[in-house]
Amino acid sequence: MIFNSVVFGIFFFIVFYLYWLFLKNNITIRNIFLIIVSYIFYGWWDWRFLFLIIISSLVDFIIGKRIYLQRNIPKRKKLLLISLIVNFGFLGFFKYFNFFVDSFIDAFSLFGISLNVSTLNIILPVGISFYTFQSLSYTLDIYYNKFKPTNNVYAFLAFVSFFPQLVAGPIERAKKLLPQFLEKKTFSYDHFRSGLFLMAWGLLKKIVIADRLAKYIDVAYSNVDHISGIPALYAVIFFAFQLYLDFSAYSDIAIGAARTLGFNLSENFRRPYLSSSFSNFWKRWHISLSSWFKDYVYIPLGGSRHGNFRTNRNLIIVFLLSGLWHGASWNFVIWGAINGLFIIIFDRYILQINKTSLGRIFSSIFVSAMWAFSLIFFRAQTFGDAIIMYKNLFSSSINSLYSYGLGKPEFTFTIIILIIMMFIELIAEKKENLYAWINNRHLIVRWTMYIIIVTIILFVGYYGEKMPISNFVYFQF
């Protein structure tokens, strides 16, 4: 079940209606209801994989309580190890088994040794990387004495499986989200209104812009041997925008849907293409994942406390793991390493440039451009395709810009809406809370904006016969 489908619209309407009409006063029944509807939401894709999230949740619930009660440090470590083995065991098997087998075979082939090892036909469960990290953060925070375990199993199961952010985040921490499942909820019209606005805004970014960009990008990357020059450059730029708009759209819809139900989720994107440095970029992009790696990998490794060499080593480890988290492919690992090197190599110089307004503008453009070029490894299907794409960027173009899925009117419209979107980002950067700014406008102005957004979604959205319903990019992770 995906957010940009009629099925989800019907599902969410029923959930919202039942939730506020019958369940708002009984916390236990409300949480059981949220567990059931969240499992229906996830099981709509493939019910067989529900056992993974149920087992992971129950293991961490039990282990969390035992870690908290255990004062013996070696025994605490053993309990934590059980949680790590179960969670990473599931994640490793379903996501990385074939990757490691293929890499093992390729490594031996370098020495002329041919191995006859078969891979398995394994289906990757949707969202396994997200809910695994969310559930793990619970036991890790208890182990580091940052959080006390809950005795309410229903609240914990609801926390791990909460449907708005289940399959693509934000990756929530127990100390922020779990207590919200133990609170009574009171309907707030302001939360309802702002939640619906965020959902509509997310649908606009996804259906009107990101899916339109996807049409050009899919054709371009399916023809890497033939695309070159300016059309190839547009494919690179377009994908940087598609990835951002698609993923931030999911986050907006998730945060908005949760808000209408009385829950506050974490901000996941903060205008990353206006970043002043590469490190600043990662404080604005997929914030929940970046902070997860910072708290549970970078800081335990020593962070920046032991000199430049160890700091840089820790950064590279984090970015290699982040790349691998995104997918079972060396392309993702290379992409991660490249972005780690960006911080190490460029940030010291960028900080000097940022002392002037002109330098600040240059820094944002440079960071965004380098990020976009790194994404060639993220989007290309193979290492070879990525190398071909890099080479073709510097070749002369023989094909028209309009030969890759978007005719001239569609291509022109796409450029215009991207410019408008970046202008809105600039306004939001100054206003910080764009919705609060909109909410303070006159009633007529507010409703005019609401009507415009809905009209654009309905009449300009890229769907129907032109394009089937498109999954969100991060569903594959």
Catalytic residues, by residue number, are: 326
What is the CA angle 429-435-440, rounded to 5?
A: 110
CA gap 143, 141 in Å, rounded: 5
Instruction: Provide the total of helices (H) and of strands (E) in the chain, helices listed first.
Output: 20, 0
Kind plus residue range of the DSSP H or E element containing 280 = helix 278-281
> Which three-class secondary structure state does DSSP give residue 26?
coil
CB within 8 Å of 121: residues ≥ 6 apart: none
Q: How many CB atoms lie within 10 A of CB 460?
A: 14
> Contact 221/385 with Cβ under 8 angstroms?
yes
Q: How many CB atoms lie within 10 A of CB 405?
A: 18
CA gap 465, 305 in Å, rounded: 56
Map tokens 């790194």 to a residue.
374
- The alpha carbon of residue 115 and the mean position of all alpha carbons in its chain are separated, in whole angstroms, by 37
For residues 271, 272, 277 and 279, what is the CA-based torsion angle, rounded to 10 degrees? 120
Sign of CA dihedral 313, 319, 321, 327: negative
For residues 265, 202, 186 and 443, what is the CA-based torsion angle, rounded to 10 degrees? 130
Sign of CA dihedral 330, 335, 340, 342: positive
Residue 272 has what DSSP assignment?
G
> Contact 202/3 with Cβ under 8 angstroms?
yes
CA gap 22, 410 in Å, rounded: 47
CA gap 89, 71 in Å, rounded: 26
CA distances from 338 to 187, 199, 345, 372 (A): 46, 33, 10, 12
Q: How many CA atoms lie within 13 A of 410 on its CB side?
A: 20
Omega within 30 of 0 (cis) for the link into 170: yes
> Contact 147/141 with Cβ under 8 angstroms?
yes
